Every structure is written in C-alpha cells, then in structure tokens.
Amino acid sequence: MISHNRALGSKKFVYFPLNREGQDQRQDSQDERELSRDLMDRLFKAIGREALKEKTPSLQELEQTLQGVMSSLSNQQQENSEQHQTKGSLDDSREDSRDDSGMPLVAYLIQKGYLKDSPKWLSAKGFTAIGSKILSDVMKALKAGEYGTHESQNLGSGSLVLDTTKKYELGGDIRLLNVPKSLLNTIQRTAKDGGNLKLPLQIDVDDFEEYETIQDVRVAVVYCIDLSSTMRYSSMYGDMSRIEAAKRALWSLYLLNRNFFPSDSVYIVGFGALASKVAPHDIPYLKTFEPGSDFLHYTNYQAAFRLASKLLQKDGASNKRLVLVTDGHPSACFIDNKSEQDKIVSQRPYSHFYTPDRQTLDDVKQDHSMNLDIASGELVYLCYRYRQVDQYIGDRTIVEAKKVHSKNIEIDTIMISEEDSLLGYVNEMEKYVKGRSYYINPADIDKVLLTDYLNNKRQKMIRAQY
C-alpha cells in the first residue's frame, strides 16, 4: 500500500507495505469514495502514455505523473473558478478528485484492481480499461460508426449483426428483433387503419422486424513488429517513438478484435535477429533490442516469416494473413546448413555469424518476456549495409516470403521509414507475393492498422456473400 506525509503544504509520497489488519480498519472506519468518470478518463490516458514508454516507469514515477495530472486539473479548475467566481464549486470538485483517506492515486487504482504492485503494473482489468480508452480515441478519429459494429450483439460463432433490418420470419431468432422499429411499425399500422393508440399496444407478427446477419468469415492475422534498435527513434510526427506508436496500435487492435470480432485470431510477433510470439498483455512492455554483443538488434524478416507461418498453419481460419511492420530493410537471415555458411565465407572472408547462447535466451526471457524462437533457425548471418540491402540476405528473404505465400498466406508490409532502400526493396518483395506495401507516418500507425484490419475484414465478408 501507499501512504503520504504532508510537509509545508506539499505532499511527499512514501511507499511501504501495510498489513491486512490495518487495511481492514481503514476500510471499516471510512466510506469509500469514487473518483469522477472524467477524472478517471484523464488518469487512464496518462497511464496509457506511461505504459507505452520503452522504459516502463516504476510505481513511484507513475504516482508523480498522476499527481501532475491532478495539479493540472486543479489549475484549470482554479482558472475557471476565477472566471466564473464560483469558489464553492471548485472546492467540491477538488474534494471529489480523491477519496476520504487522501490515499495516493496509485494506491487507489491498485485497490480498484486497475494496477498491481509489480514491475508490470497493469492488471488484466487495467489492460482492458486503458486499452479500451485508447481504442475509443482511435475509433472516434476513424468515425467508427461507418463500420456498423455492434459490441453487444454478438450471437456467437458464425453470425455478425448488421445495422440493417428486414421483416421477421417465423422461426427466426427472437434475440435479433429490432424492438423500437417493431413498435414503430405497430403505431404506424394502427394509425393508418384509423384505430386508437392506447396501451398496451396490439402488436401483430407482421409488425416485427429483425436485424439482418451475415455469416462471419474467420480471419487469422499475425502482426510482425520490428524490434530492431532504430525503432526507438522519434516518430518525428509526434511525441512517441516508433515502437511506442506501434504498441499503441497493437493494444487497440487486440481489443478491437476481442470485442467485435472474437471469432478471428490476432497474433503478435516481435522480431530482431530472432523472433518471438508476444502475449497480448505484454504488448505495452515491448521494447527494442539494445545494440551490443548479442546482435539481436539486427532485422531478420525471415525469422518473423517463419514463426508467423507456424502460428497461422496451426490456426483453422480459412483466411490467413501476415502484416509486417518495419522501419528498416533486412540486415540478417538464417543459415540453414554448413555448406551455405562455407559458401558465404569463401566469398566474404570477414562475414559475421551469430548464434545466441543460453544466457542471452534467459536474459531476453527475463527482460523482454519473450521466448526467442530458435527452432526456426539458430545460426544467423548478419550484414548491415548503409542504405542498401545485402544481396544474399535480400534473396533469402524473398525466397522465404514466397514459401509463406505458397501456403495461402497473404503478406502485406507497413513501412514507417522513408529510406529509399527500404521502400524499393519492400515494393519488390511484395510483387513476388502479390501483396501490398504502404509507407505511412509513424504517428498514424494506430489509425492505419485499425482501418486496414476493418477494411480487410469487410472485403472478406462481402466476398463470402457471393
């Protein structure tokens, strides 16, 4: 638990464990207060920004950030109060911004189940609540109403509910009834027949209307996110780095899928020189690989393709897709046999190869929460060339992309770098697999990924109807 001391009008927060007995006494002696919805939204927005940072702040640092939100709100309210000369309402608003005990905000949010006392301090409830706030903001920007999604009208496997309605058919699912439209039909029929409108209404079966449905088409998508060291660079279009913007997009995309299209499968793969499947709740904690002796900060498209292909082949969806999100051209590939290595060495005596040791694998598991996939390949050939793709690596990557495409897996690439070498190479690769490539501003990656997902889903469903 968290407590604070007051000194000279300022607050100093001290973190210490509080025994269960003391906690129960506090809860018994004081009624619990609720923070306003507007304030919770502000806090969630701030927590979301902090969670996306590559270096996850400690709970103490998070508390300081949230106190800054409170101070900013108080200053805003003070200005409004002076303008309207309503000091009483300011005092009431300030009082509503905390509970009776004056409990620090982090402690309050832990008590409410949004945070937990852990280096990964987002609870499952907090991950959903804060991610939903991010998703809501993105969807508002996209004018989500045009997509006709109904979060509360999911009838299970196979059916998606549309906005349009039709006359009710006997034997149909009564859960699909459009009650307001049905009642309106009754009123209009009664009025047209010259009858008196009175309660209860005399509803006829012919008045019933039901929502239309279409058969859902299952889609499985793997989003392969580049974790090479350059992804930590500023997006140049906002205050977030490339990796932070990508994490924001994936967080909202995962919740979009879970809330509106639960029959679909969305997987996340993070990759550098090697790749790893990423658990959804670890999305906010993704970070890039540090340049150093382990060489994991190189970019190996092949590692992403192989792991993504494994995940998709195990999935029963009829439509399978791989989306590569990267800011750099490939600078690494697997060497699958000794003869290939010997051939490279004979042509390039100073070539560099890398195989991760057990300590590196354990460190990545501890620091990144990632189990690197070494079953797809252990020996990695590394060759970074400034503003150009090494021919051997480029060729091996395209061969791998063709293998994936031959398994009826679509491959599209979203580029968040304007380097000519990347744009040219990716466009060339996509020609071989009949895929699409996009260059986008990093700051728009959340809107681009969600729009791409929704449009692709809609196209699949439209095709399925004909």
* Terminal alpha carbon distance of the chain: 59
Evaluate if residue 405 carries a pLDDT over 90: yes
Question: Residues 27-71: pLDDT tens digits?
Answer: 443 334 678 888 899 999 999 999 999 899 999 999 999 999 888
In a domain, 147, yes or no: no
Question: Residues 270-292: pLDDT tens digits?
Answer: 999 999 999 999 999 999 998 87
Evaluate if residue 112 carries a pLDDT over 90: yes
Residues 327 and 251 reside in one and the same domain:
yes
Residues 458 and 314 reside in one and the same domain:
yes
Contact, 28 vs 50, CB < 8 A? no
Which of the pair, 334 or 172, is modelled with greater confidence? 334
Residues 186 and 263 reside in one and the same domain:
no
Question: What domain count does the chain have?
Answer: 3
Task: Show the domain range for 275.
Answer: 219-464
The sheet that has 332-334: what strands, in order across it?
Answer: 332-334, 380-382, 352-354
Evaluate if residue 91 carries a pLDDT over 90: no
In a domain, 410, yes or no: yes
In a domain, 19, yes or no: yes
Give the pLDDT confidence score for residue 130 in this predicted structure.
Answer: 94
Residue 398 makes CB contacts below 8 A (sequence gap 6+) with 428, 429, 432
Residues 176 and 261 reside in one and the same domain:
no
Entry pTM: 0.75
Residues 361 and 409 reside in one and the same domain:
yes
Give the pLDDT confidence score for residue 98 in this predicted structure.
Answer: 44
Distance (Å, rounded) from C-alpha 2 to C-alpha 66? 14
Question: Residue 238 — very low, low, confident or very high, per pLDDT cuts 50/70/90?
Answer: low
Residues 244 and 293 reside in one and the same domain:
yes
Angle at Cα 50 formed by Cα 47 and Cα 54, nearest 5°? 150
Which of 220-229, 269-278, 444-453 shows the lowest mean pLDDT across its residues? 444-453
Residues 171 and 78 reside in one and the same domain:
no
Residues 101 and 31 reside in one and the same domain:
yes
Residues 402 and 347 reside in one and the same domain:
yes
